[in-house]
Amino acid sequence: MIIDCYCRIWESPAQLGSSVSAWLSRCGGQRDLTTDPAEYAETAKDVSMTLLWGFRSKLLGAEIPNSFLADFAAQRPDQLKAIAAVDPMQEDYRERLENVAERKEFAGLTISPAAQGFHPSDSRAQSIYAFCQERKLPLFVDTCSDIAPMAMAEFARPYLFDEPMREYPDITVVFASMGWPFVGEMLALLAKQPRAYAEVSGLIRQPWELYQALVGAHQAGVAHKLLFGSGFPFTTAATAIERIYRLNETTSGTHLPNVPRETLRGIIEREALAELGIA
């Protein structure tokens, strides 16, 4: 079973805010996804389940409605699970948490300190951590350090979550893109915090960055805490799987270290739903 732990869909790129055009172009072009579940299923045929991340940011004027994700996922519940977005900097964030509690189809919550403009230890974020811990929902942290000029990259550092994870030791946290560009901090946090995980999608388009990150994870003994993510719509699951399996070709003919194939297979085939407590 292959679980795609990072995917985005939207009705229009405008839902990501007016300042992300350069990021969209850099990541592979402004693909306007209006796919229906049947079309998406064809794209995701190489995986058993996909997690659809929401996005909401007062700072960037962005919102992919949680209801859109939930309705989309509900049409193929055997293949899709929605992750609701909450922005603690918006006045109605507590109401949003209540809505998530009422709707059972959400498999977790997602936040982005950089895109939403808050320090991970901000008191307003504590309600989100407490909510996830109490309800045993995983928290998904999107780095978004380079998504827009106004994004606050200093809040994307993985180590800023060490304090919240000490305060809420039972919370499971999944970090996008291995915390890029702070991969070293991400590896240290994975080693330190037993309920910290990271997915790899944001590095799929950067072979050298992916190679360094996976070698680092293997050497640090934390590769078992890495999860597969495709990064759709910019990369398909099939392409992401191929690039991970071909990782060692990046340094073929050199004396640089390789990552064992069984380690790469472990990332791709990890039972992520069981690891994260998603039913």
Q: Please list the rounded mean pLDDT of every run of 10 residues in the chain (279 residues).
A: 92 82 69 58 84 95 92 89 96 88 88 97 96 96 90 96 98 97 98 98 94 98 97 89 96 95 98 94
Residue 130: give its domain's CATH number: 3.20.20.140
Peptide bond into 233 cis (omega under 30): yes
Our count of domains for the chain comes to 1
pTM: 0.94
Residues contacting residue 79 through CB under 8 Å, at least 6 positions apart? 41, 44, 48, 49, 50
- Angstrom CA distances, 272 to 173, 238, 277, stand at 12, 18, 8
Q: In the beta sheet, which residues pair with residue 52?
A: 7, 82
- Angstrom CA distances, 216 to 91, 117, 187, 263, 278, stand at 40, 29, 8, 12, 28
How far apart CA 115 and CA 263 sit, in angstroms, is: 32
How far apart CA 214 and CA 216 sit, in angstroms, is: 5
The answer to whether 64 and 55 are in contact (CB under 8 A) is yes
Q: What is the pLDDT of residue 211?
A: 97
Please identify which residue in the block is written with the tokens 């909510």.
131
How far apart CA 64 and CA 12 sit, in angstroms, is: 9
Q: What is the pLDDT of residue 218?
A: 98
Q: What is the pLDDT of residue 36?
A: 58
Containing domain of residue 13, as a range? Answer: 3-276
For residue 267, which amino acid is it?
Answer: I
Residues found in the chain: 279
CA quadruple 166, 130, 229, 143: dihedral sign: negative
